[in-house]
Amino acid sequence: MLWVKSLHIISIIAWMAGMLYLPRLMVYHADAEIGSTQSETFKIMERRLLKAITTPAMVASWIFGLWLVFGYQMASFTDFWFLVKFAGVIALSGMHGYLSKLVKDFAQDQNQKSAKFFRMINEVPTLLMIIIVIMVVVKPF
């Protein structure tokens, strides 16, 4: 069980790193001129971060997390703290999907969002992370 828990934590750290860095890249990409060397470099960075780190880490987080829940009964769907945590993970996964769509928009030079928008959404993964960690560690409900 400790190996699975360790792999779950490692996966989450990698997933969160990507979820925090990807919108930050988009802040700068939004200000780059379409077709510029800088814009093309951001496209490569965003694609590689998403495909090589963030998405595999999300998948691993889900696999190891579900393994802990169903394989070791680390939580129950009757625990309210777990339901709030699970909702946070679903929301974080949805945010991941939305960021994936934005990467695709940038890749096709079809971004319609401002740098200010990306600064604001950069806070969403942080807020979700705070909720999730508090639910797991403090279990306030």
Q: What is the DSSP string of 27-88?
A: HHHHHSPTTSHHHHHHHHHHHHIIIIIIHHHHHHHHHHHHIIIIIH----TT-HHHHHHHHH
- Binding residue per annotation — 8? yes
Query: Tokens 């400790």 map to which residue?
Result: 2
Radius of gyration from C-alpha coordinates of the chain:
17
- Binding residue per annotation — 51? no
Residue stretches of the annotated binding site = 8, 85
Residue stretches of the annotated binding site for heme = 8, 85
